[in-house]
Amino acid sequence: MQAVGTLVFRKRQRTFTDEVPGLTLDEGRPPQIQRSRRGIGLGTYVAATLWAYWMESTWEFYALAVVIGLVQGGVQSLSRSLFARITPAARAGEFFGFYNMLGKFAAVLGPLLMGSAALATGSSRAAVLVIVALFVAGGILLYFVDEREGARLAGET
């Protein structure tokens, strides 16, 4: 806890359950449940991106923004917490610096891929499908991450 004046704040890690109303999964569940949380987040992104492909009206844009807003923070939190569990404590600064650099790289690569696809196809709708491909590729890679083994190896160093 951290005292600030007369107020006391408890530091608490936000989880996916904080971001998705009605989802009552808690920490300490088996890895299959934790994996399913990540799957829910990625699945929501894929579904939202496919929805964006067929979007035709303004209300759909706002509804899509709400859907993304419901999962964005939780997915980012899950990503960071998974990365922290498989990162050696002694090298956390180095690892998270690399993690942050990859985020900056993605901010360049995504628009570059979308722009290239839009230029090649002549359609910005088709360019949105590039994002689906990136989510699917990331999901496949994430499926093969052995979280227990990563945590074990992180604890050894």
pLDDT tier at 96, thresholds 50, 70, 90? very high
Q: For residues 146 and 152, what is the distance between their CA atoms, to the nearest angstrom?
A: 10
Residue with more model confidence, 99 or 22: 99
pLDDT, tens digit, 9 for 90 and up, residues 33-59: 556 777 888 889 999 999 999 999 999
The residue to which tokens 């569990």 are assigned = 85
- Average pLDDT, stretch 125-154? 90
Q: Which residues contact 117 (CB under 8 A, 6 or more apart)?
A: 126, 127, 129, 130
* Token pair of 108 as six digits: 């360049």
Give the residue, 1 or 112, on which the prediction is more confident: 112
For residue 91, is pLDDT > 60? Answer: yes
* pLDDT more than 90, % of the chain: 45
Taking 3-state DSSP, the helix, strand and coil percentages for the chain, each rounded to the nearest 5, stand at 75, 5, 20
Condensed to tens digits (0 to 9), the pLDDT of residues 2-42 reads: 443 333 334 444 444 444 443 444 445 555 555 677 788 88
pLDDT of residue 61: 93
Q: Provide the pLDDT for residue 21.
A: 43
As a whole number of angstroms, the distance between CA 152 and CA 130 comes to 35
Q: What is the pTM of this model?
A: 0.71
Burial environment of residue 104 by CB neighbours within 10 A (0 to 12, 13 to 18, 19 or more): exposed
